[in-house]
Chains A and B, each alone.
Chain A
């Protein structure tokens, strides 16, 4: 698989501006792009399955630290409904105590990186088996932080880093350059998904 690492991306971005960028700052932007920004770019995210375990009698399940956005939650192979807690309150005031095989998940009024399963699982699940064939586990379908990028995203990602580098306060700050870097990078991120956007049309 052709991929590019964070350090190679920084080197490439700096080549584009004849080594005028600050590699330390660019490295920080690259790390942030892979971990935080890429999952937020429409169509630019990379989906993954992550697996974890649940304990009988405990509704709360921790979400893996690499997860940025949960798309779906599975328990024992079944996709659970994502419900607001108000809906569960309306169904039964005693819902947090109900036990059985979970059929819904919620994140309202929960700690960060925790989901609450309803009903509370009545069995303890494992997380050691295969992600895709295991049936007795909690599986998150999620957008996750990345450590590498596909090679076809190298140029848009490099321009994205440069847009940050040249918009920060520095002796070579260039807001016009930064704005164009961002504009072209966004257009390229769209292009790789087959979306042709007319740059002359105002949104």
Chain B
């Protein structure tokens, strides 16, 4: 969050021995932007919250119903009560009619990259809003601005970006070193 895009570019270009950006200038920002998105999707360093109006008899919502930049929800709250994440395949045992089930929302799940399930749906008379905390899709990197991800996640992002740039240069032995570095910087314990 305090690392500038320019600083990240300089670090990256130094690591791939292309400080003048002769070989990678055309795709550098795109690769940095994409690596930032991938790393944030993994570690969830940039989060946001959106409101979702729950609809009577509707338990499935598409990603865009929540917000335009959702990667993956991590928490759903209704009336200040945190719902339990439960695999959707278990809902049938609770109620075979779960697709249109009605009641006080208790559980949620996210299917693939697209469908958010909040079960059951609210009663007809109740206007209910869910608060969805989600990992955001970071925006494109822009010169003169800051990276969005936390500083703690920058090294692993640079490792990943270095792998891609070294791949472009066909420097295969160096890729193994970058992959090793990425592994060292990857700490599964901080994955949400």
Residues of chain A at the chain B interface (Cβ within 8 Å) = 1-2, 12, 15-18, 43-49, 71-72, 74, 77-79, 132-133, 135, 139, 143, 150-156, 159, 174, 176-177, 180-181, 184, 188, 191-196, 198-200
Closest A residue to B138 using CB positions:
A152
List of A residues within 8 angstroms of B41 by Cβ: 152, 191-194
Determine, out of B3-11, B14-22, B95-103, the stretch whose residues face the partner at the interface. Answer: B95-103
B144 within 8 A of A: no
The reply to whether B172 and A152 contact each other, CB–CB distance below 8 Å, is no
The reply to whether A79 and B27 contact each other, CB–CB distance below 8 Å, is no
The reply to whether B30 and A15 contact each other, CB–CB distance below 8 Å, is yes
B81 within 8 A of A: no
The reply to whether B112 and A46 contact each other, CB–CB distance below 8 Å, is yes
The reply to whether B115 and A47 contact each other, CB–CB distance below 8 Å, is yes
Number of A-B contacts (CB under 8 A): 131
Q: How far apart sit A72 and B39, CA to CA, in the bound complex (Å)?
A: 32
List of B residues within 8 angstroms of A154 by Cβ: 34, 37
Residues of chain B at the chain A interface (Cβ within 8 Å) = 26-27, 30-31, 34-35, 37-39, 41-44, 55, 57-61, 63-64, 68-69, 71-72, 91-92, 96-100, 111-115, 137, 160, 163-164, 167-168, 170, 172, 175, 179-180, 182-183, 186, 188, 191-192
The reply to whether A200 and B168 contact each other, CB–CB distance below 8 Å, is no
**Sampled A-B contacts (9; CB under 8 Å):** A1-B63, A45-B112, A49-B60, A77-B97, A150-B113, A155-B37, A177-B170, A188-B38, A199-B183
List of B residues within 8 angstroms of A71 by Cβ: 111
A133-B57, A196-B186 are known contacts; what are 20 more A-B pairs with Cβ within 8 Å? A2-B137, A16-B31, A18-B168, A46-B112, A72-B92, A79-B91, A79-B92, A150-B71, A150-B137, A151-B37, A151-B137, A152-B37, A177-B167, A177-B170, A191-B38, A192-B41, A192-B42, A193-B41, A195-B42, A200-B183
The reply to whether A196 and B168 contact each other, CB–CB distance below 8 Å, is no
The reply to whether A200 and B179 contact each other, CB–CB distance below 8 Å, is yes
The reply to whether B42 and A2 contact each other, CB–CB distance below 8 Å, is no
